[in-house]
Structure 1
C-alpha cells in the first residue's frame, strides 16, 4: 500500500516552511507565535523602509511595533463591528507612524508612511486568520485588504483606480488609504465573495494567471 501524507502533517509542514517550526507546533494564541507572525509580516514591507537596517533605534522601534500588534490582536476579542475595527485600525497605523517619528535619523533619510503601517498590520492579521487564530477569525469579515501591487492591478482591472500620485502602496497617506479601502469594499460587495479578505486571497493565489499578469509578462515587466 502506498503511504500518503495526512492533511494535518501537510498543513503543519507548510506552516513550518513559511513561519518556522515554533509557529507550526506552538499555541497560535500565544504571544510568542503572534510575535513570530508579526515579524514575518514585517518582511513583506521592510524593503520599502530604505535605510532602516542601519537605524540606531531599529530594534527599539520594531520591538515596540510588535508589542503593539500583540495588544491589537488580543483586543480583537472585544471588537464587534466594522466601525469599531476601522477605528482601532486607523489608530494603530497612526500611532505606528508617530512612533517612528520619535526617532529621527536625518543622515539616513528614513520615512515611515501610513501605507507601510497598513501592510504590517494587515499582513499580520491575514496570516493569523490563515493560522486559525480565534480572534482573527472572529473579526475576519472586518479585516482590511493588505494593499500592494497585485491588489492595485486586479482592482484596476475591475474598475477601481489607483490613488492619485504618489500612489506607491508603501507611500500612501491616511486619506488615500482609507478612501481606497472603501472602494475595495464596494467592489467586493458587488461580487460573490463574502468579505474583502476572501477576494484578496483569490487575487494573491491567482495573480500569476490573470490577464494583467500575462500582459506584464508579454511587455517584459517583472
Structure 2
C-alpha cells in the first residue's frame, strides 16, 4: 500500500483500504492522469483559472465513474465517454484561458484515469472493463497500426480529432474481437481492447 501512496497519494490508498472512493481520491487519480498529458496542454499553467478547471474535471470524472454501474452496453459507454471529452474541452477552451484543447488530449486524460482505476480494482471500473478505450499516444498508435492495419493520424496524437480517434478505437476493437487473425498472439488472453493495450504498451 505504501507504493500506492507514493504514486497516487494517501487518499487513494485509503480509498482502496476502505472501498470508499471519495472526491479526494478521484481528484488524485485525475491529477495523476493529467501528468500524462500536461506537456501538450500549452498555456494551462499561466491561466489563472487552471486550478478550478482541474477541480471541475475531477468532479466530471467522479460522476462518470460513479455512473459506470448503470452502463449496459458499449454504445452507452461510448456516448458517456464522448460527452465527458466534449465537456472537458469546453472547460479548457474558456474564453479567458487562451488554451486550445484537442480531443487527442482529453481522450488520453480520461483513458489513463480509467486505466489507473482498473489497476487499482475500482469496483465500477472493473465491471465496465470490457468497454474501456485504449489510451492513444504515439507509441500505442504505432502498435495499433501494426496490429489492426488502421491508418493512424499523420499529425501528433495530442491534436487528434474525434473522427480519427473513433477510427482507431474501432479498428483495435474489431481486431481484438476477430477470431480469423492467424497472426494474433495469445488470442485467448485478449478479451477486450485493454487486454491488448497491456501487450502493446510493453512492446512499445
Per the alignment, residue 117 of structure 1 pairs with 106
Unaligned 5+ residue runs, structure 2?
179-183
**Change in 2 beyond 3 A, CA 1:44/1:164:** closer
Per the alignment, residue 195 of structure 1 pairs with 192
Could you state the TM-score of these two structures normalised by the residue count of structure 1? Answer: 0.80
SS at match of 1:52: coil
1:185 paired to 2:169: no
Shift of 1:150: 1.9
1:63-82 correspondence to structure 2 within 5 Å: 63-82=55-74
User: Whole-Å Cα distance in 2 between the matches of residues 199 and 16 of structure 1?
Assistant: 28
Shift of 1:153: 1.9
User: Whole-Å Cα distance in 2 between the matches of residues 104 and 187 of structure 1?
Assistant: 43
Shift of 1:23: 1.6
User: Whole-Å Cα distance in 2 between the matches of residues 123 and 89 of structure 1?
Assistant: 13
Deviations 1:135-183 (A, max 9, x none): 00010000000001221121222243443433x1111111111111111
Unaligned 5+ residue runs, structure 1?
1-11, 208-222
1:1-222 correspondence to structure 2 within 5 Å: 12-26=1-15, 27-28=18-19, 29-106=21-98, 110-166=99-155, 168-190=156-178, 191=184, 192=187, 193-207=190-204
Report the structure number with the largest CA radius of gyration. Answer: 1
Contact 1:77 1:135 in 2 (8 A): yes
Contact 1:69 1:121 in 2 (8 A): yes
Could you state the TM-score of these two structures normalised by the residue count of structure 2? Answer: 0.87
Per the alignment, residue 220 of structure 1 pairs with none
